[in-house]
């Protein structure tokens, strides 16, 4: 590129001496550099590691009892599977995942609205890799809609404790999460966004 040590008149003279293809290459490289800097700045702003004021990171730092959708470990999830009282939604996420960061406040708001009807929990796939693999998590974020598997009359107790009602990958708004809970657990209509 251009050397910053040269005086401005020399820079102008050097620019005039360059051919059109050389000028075009310099402009393209400058634009690429600008886009790379913008992407880095955006990642810095979205990252919960750097953004201490972000709602997602504050949700991660609060204790489990303070939030409607606590973050749980794989062992805690195993225990929850044996103690069913309401349907469960698991948000499989990672702290580095941009869509997960964007969906975290939406999931928390949905958990707050559905408190008592649906148990909503979050599972950090980086900290619980084995459980994420057992659940078949392929993309992030992933919502798993689980309900208690009831034994039918005359049958033995089922081997599995839960029935997977639905598995959806991708970030969603609060309204869609709530509508999916109504659809999977309470015989509501399928959300329009999912059709």
Mark whether 181 is an active-site residue. no
Mark whether 100 is an active-site residue. yes
What gap in Å lies between CA 142 and CA 58, rounded to an integer?
A: 21
CA nearest neighbour of 111 among 57, 178, 168: 178
What gap in Å lies between CA 166 and CA 154, rounded to an integer?
A: 27
Q: Identify the active-site residue in 69, 72, 97, 103.
A: 97
Q: Identify the active-site residue in 59, 72, 94, 100.
A: 100
What gap in Å lies between CA 118 and CA 180, rounded to an integer?
A: 11
- List Cα–Cα distances, 51 to 43, 92, 98, 164, in angstroms: 10, 21, 13, 35
162-169 vs 88-93, strand pairing mode: unpaired
- How distant is the alpha carbon of residue 2 from its chain centre? 42
- The set of catalytic residues is 97, 100
């Amino acid at each position: 590129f251009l050397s910053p040590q040269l005086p401005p008149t020399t820079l102008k003279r050097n620019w005039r001496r360059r051919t059109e293809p050389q000028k075009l290459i310099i402009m393209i490289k400058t634009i690429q550099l600008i886009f790379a800097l913008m992407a880095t700045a955006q990642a810095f702003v979205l990252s919960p590691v750097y953004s201490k004021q972000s709602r997602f990171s504050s949700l991660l730092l609060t204790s489990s009892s303070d939030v409607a959708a606590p973050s749980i470990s794989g062992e805690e999830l195993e225990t929850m599977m044996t103690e069913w009282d309401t349907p469960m939604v698991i948000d499989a996420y990672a702290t580095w995942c941009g869509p997960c960061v964007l969906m975290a406040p939406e999931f928390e708001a949905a958990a707050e609205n559905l408190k008592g009807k649906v148990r909503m929990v979050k599972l950090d796939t980086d900290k619980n890799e084995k459980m994420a693999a057992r659940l078949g998590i392929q993309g992030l974020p992933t919502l798993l809609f689980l309900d208690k598997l009831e034994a039918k009359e005359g049958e033995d107790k089922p081997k599995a404790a839960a029935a997977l009602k639905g598995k959806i990958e991708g970030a969603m708004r609060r309204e869609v999460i709530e509508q999916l809970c109504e659809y999977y657990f309470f015989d509501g209509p399928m959300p329009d966004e999912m059709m």
